[in-house]
Amino acid sequence: MTSLNIIMIRCLLICFGLILLGCSTPVSDFRVFQQSDGTIGVHAPKSATDAEAHAIGETQCQKLGKRTATLVDSRKTTNDRFPYSYSYLCR
């Protein structure tokens, strides 16, 4: 292989990598986790509404094979990045 071919292959690999990065899923402002008691926890940013947090909780419940998410608890936290925390029970 010539050095020109090697350079072209490297350029193609870099372009392919950049295309994959451009098509990746955007980072969510919410953090979702399953708690030890089986409920779903959602940490939300300041700009989030209760309806947005509920939609995230319901989506997570549907991934677990449940139909709905019922709000169990909502509270304000001391975390600057995620000042609101919600807990949902999947049914």
Using only C-alpha atoms, what is the Rg of the chain?
A: 21
Q: What are phi and psi of 76, to 5 degrees?
A: -90, 140
Note the pLDDT of residue 71.
96
Beta strands in 38-83 (DSSP E): 40-44, 69-76
Pairing of strands 84-90, 69-76: antiparallel
Residues in the chain: 91
DSSP per-residue letters across 46-74: TT--HHHHHHHHHHHHHHTT-S-EEEEEE
**Predicted TM-score of the model (pTM):** 0.67
Per-residue pLDDT of the chain (91 residues), as tens digits, is 677 777 778 877 786 666 655 554 445 689 999 999 989 999 999 889 999 999 999 999 999 999 999 999 999 999 888 899 999 999 9
d(CA 48, CA 45): 6
Note the pLDDT of residue 77.
92
Q: How far, rounded to the nearest angstrom, does the alpha carbon of residue 55 sit from its chain's CA centroid?
A: 12
